[in-house]
Structure 1
Amino acid sequence: MKVIIVSDTHIPKKAKVLPNRLLQELEEADCIIHAGDWQAKEVFHELQQYGKLYGVSGNVDGEDIKQLMPEKQVVEANGWKIGIVHGHGDKKTTEKRAVEAFNEHVDIIVFGHSHLPVLKFTGKTMLFNPGSVTDKRKLPYYSFGKLILDDEIHAEHVFFKN
């Protein structure tokens, strides 16, 4: 199962459209995860055209997105439990807030907010932040994530110039 992970799209503030590099990968996706800060409902509708869409709302999302997406959720994909949260809040790091958002065991925690790509483990749980496809901040490249979920997890970031 191929899962494409995005976060912090911030459309139309940081870009008018989703980048072509992401759209190419979406063509072959079994499902998509968006970890918040969509900023426009149009992003939801566009991603939905590519397949099953899971996501959460972020700190810059308005009521229109908050009505569509919860603040956090746990989904199952091909036998793997994935916790999704944006990761914003006060005190602590974004990663710490993401980990503390889930009381139950999950195999993967997908989060956003920082725009910084992360792939590491805390105990037996993978932490994955895809970065941003529209707002790389001080990083050299834009990024999104790709998970292949089978008997094992293959996770990677896709880095690209816009």
Structure 2
Amino acid sequence: MKIAVISDTHMPKMATGVPPALADGLRDVDLILHAGDWQTLAAVELFEQFAPLDGVAGNVDGEEIAARFGRQKVLTIGGYKIGLVHGDGKGKTTERRAAAAFAGEKLDLIIFGHSHVPYHEVLADGTVLFNPGSPTDKRRQAQFSYGLIEIGEGMRVRHEFYAEKK
């Protein structure tokens, strides 16, 4: 199983369509997970054209997106427990807020967004903490990014980077 992980698309403010490099990466995925800050339901509809979709709402998302996806969830995919949260809030770093959102739960992977900064850390308990970055709003990052999860004999999580969103 191949899963694309995206966050902080901020569409249509930061892009009116799916960037070509991201579209190429989405063509053969089985599922797309979005960690919030879609901005509009139009973004949801764009990504649904590629593959089944799940996600959470972020701090800039309206009630329609929050009602559809919720703000936090745990999914079991291919036998792995995956937490999904945007990561916004007060206090701590974005990474620590994301981990704290699932305190007391044994997860294999926690996916979060909010900072637009690609992040990949294996915590002391073995949980992978992962932020895909942003495919449309890299802010101060050198490149745009998204994530890929491959589940087969084990789970592999990695970033994909590209320079242009045109």
Q: CA deviation at 1:44?
A: 0.8
- The alignment status of 1:17 with 2:35, answered yes or no, reads no
Report the Cα distance in structure 1 between the residues aligned to 2:46 and 2:107, rounded to whole angstroms: 28
Cα deviations by residue, 1:5-35 (Å, 9 ceiling, x for unpaired): 0000001111111111111111100101000
- The alignment status of 1:39 with 2:34, answered yes or no, reads no
Mark the runs of 5 or more structure 1 residues left unpaired by the alignment: none
Q: What SS does the corresponding residue of 1:154 show, helix, strand or coil?
A: strand
Q: What SS does the corresponding residue of 2:141 show, helix, strand or coil?
A: coil
What's the TM-score once normalised by structure 1's chain length? 0.97
Q: CA deviation at 1:141?
A: 0.4
Report the Cα distance in structure 2 between the residues aligned to 1:81 and 1:151, rounded to whole angstroms: 15
| Selected match of 1:128 from 125, 130, 137 | 130
- The alignment status of 1:80 with 2:80, answered yes or no, reads yes
Report the Cα distance in structure 2 between the residues aligned to 1:47 and 1:68, rounded to whole angstroms: 15
| Selected match of 1:160 from 115, 137, 162 | 162
Report the Cα distance in structure 2 between the residues aligned to 1:80 and 1:46, rounded to whole angstroms: 27
Q: Paired residue for 1:138?
A: 140
Seq. identity, %: 44
Report the Cα distance in structure 2 between the residues aligned to 1:134 and 1:104, rounded to whole angstroms: 32
What's the TM-score once normalised by structure 2's chain length? 0.94
Which amino acid is the alignment partner of residue 128 of structure 2?
M
User: In the comparison of the two structures, how many residue pairs are matched?
Assistant: 162
Which amino acid is the alignment partner of residue 93 of structure 1?
T
Report the Cα distance in structure 1 between the residues aligned to 2:94 and 2:78, rounded to whole angstroms: 27
Q: CA deviation at 1:51?
A: 2.1
Q: CA deviation at 1:159?
A: 0.6
